[in-house]
Amino acid sequence: MPNDTLALTQKLIACRSPTPDDGGCQEIMIDRLEKLGFHIERMRHGAVDNLWARRGAAAPLLCFAGHTDVVPTGPLEKWESDPFTPTIRDGKLYGRGAADMKASLAAFVTAIEAFVAAQHDHNGSIALLITSDEEGVAVEGTVRVVEALKARNESIDYCIVGEPTCVDKLGDMIKNGRRGSLSGTLTVKGIQGHIAYPHLGKNPIHLAAPAIAELARTEWDQGNEYFPPTTWQVSNINGGTGATNVIPGEVKMLFNFRFSTASTVESLRTRVHAILDQHGLDYDLLWELSGKPYLTPKGSLVEAIARSIKSVTGVEPQLSTSGGTSDGRFIADICSQVVEFGPRNATIHKLNECVEVDDLEQLAEIYRLTLENLLLQR
């Protein structure tokens, strides 16, 4: 695979694909996958392009998952080179999406090509689940493909999501889970009035304050072996008319839980309502679940990719569940073993996003060895 991953990464970066545009990335990948005997399913939903490609029908099924869409570039004049013109400087490949996550997409393809060339009649099956709706609202992307697969009873045994996971050097971190995200919009009602006559009004900010304080100091859980404790944070509070002499009629607050597998959606909701009720508030509370937590304990997939990383880089990877959400939260619904592994994440979503050129072929080799570890008879 000498330099092949670099060349493909460059080709993908040159595709302008801000969310939800795919920019032609998937067709580039499809052209190479069809030559390997993959069955291609294009699953377009709204403005979002999704791809489900599978080679083989037998178990186990190893799926590589990722996204072709990228975040906005930001001010073009602050980039040292055009973000959609892949540019190599000082051993780094620059371009929007270089690390997040076109390098991983390219490495998926070249790893599979090398594996199939050497092991044409391998055990099991290989798949790719690719979307152009990960960096955006993520409602027409991976979740739709998972729904389609679930409807026809098609499950996945192992999944590697190519998110950029490494910190200081390639191979130092595998994400074997992510916290869930549960948000609430709380409206506490009062009675608007003149601030000079407080006995004629009811200040909802004053009423809500003790409940907010209790929510902030509550220990929701203690986490577990893989997750830190669940956290609750207020992100916005708004109340009042803007005038200094009016008691507001209501106050609105936005908050968010980042929660571990030590808690459930139901337990968190129940405890919040109990605290609000205990303080006698007149309120409305709307909930929004962005994703449940998922966890892949040490087992066949974690061990297979960790062994591949050590073989290629000499690094012993650390397992982590840190960071925000990823599409792994959707895939976990039909796959019991999901991990995330990709290049370093130091420049993702930043100006002058880049990836180390030397990391590209190593990343592909890690994916190739993981295919060997999971799909070859021992």
365 is an active site residue: no
Residue 1 has pLDDT above 50, yes or no: no
Residue 263 has pLDDT above 60, yes or no: yes
Residue 98 has pLDDT above 50, yes or no: yes
Q: How confident is the model at residue 324 (pLDDT cuts 50, 70, 90)?
A: confident
372 is an active site residue: no
182-186 average pLDDT score = 98
Q: What CA–CA distance (Å, rounded) separates 311 from 343?
A: 16
Comparing 325 with 287, the larger pLDDT belongs to 287
3-state secondary structure of 327: coil
- Please state, rounded to an integer, the average pLDDT across all residues of the chain: 96
Residue 360 has pLDDT above 80, yes or no: yes
Catalytic residue among 100, 113, 133, 134: 134
Q: Would you state the pLDDT for residue 323? A: 86
Using a pLDDT cut of 70, give the percent of the chain over it: 99
pLDDT tens by residue, 290-321 = 889 999 999 999 999 999 999 999 999 999 99
Residue 20 has pLDDT above 80, yes or no: yes
Cβ atoms of residues 202 and 138 within 8 Å: no
Residue 219 has pLDDT above 50, yes or no: yes
Cβ contacts of residue 255 below 8 Å, gap of 6+? 183, 184, 186, 215, 232, 233, 234, 235
Q: Are strands 354-356 and 92-94 parallel, antiparallel or unpaired?
A: antiparallel
CA 164 to chain CA centroid, nearest Å: 10
Could you tell me which residues are beta bridge partners of residue 183?
256, 288
Catalytic residue among 69, 113, 327, 361: 69
Residue 97 has pLDDT above 80, yes or no: yes
204-217 and 265-278 helices cross at what angle (nearest 10)? Answer: 140
Residue 137 has pLDDT above 90, yes or no: no
Using a pLDDT cut of 90, give the percent of the chain over it: 95
Residue 222 has pLDDT above 70, yes or no: yes
Q: How confident is the model at residue 340 (pLDDT cuts 50, 70, 90)?
A: very high
Q: Would you state the pLDDT for residue 2? A: 54
Cβ contacts of residue 267 below 8 Å, gap of 6+? none
Residue 6 has pLDDT above 50, yes or no: yes
Return the number of other C-beta atoms located less than 10 Å from residue 108's C-beta: 28
- Residue 349 main-chain phi, psi, to 5 deg: 65, 10
pLDDT tens by residue, 101-136 = 999 999 999 999 999 999 999 999 999 999 999 999
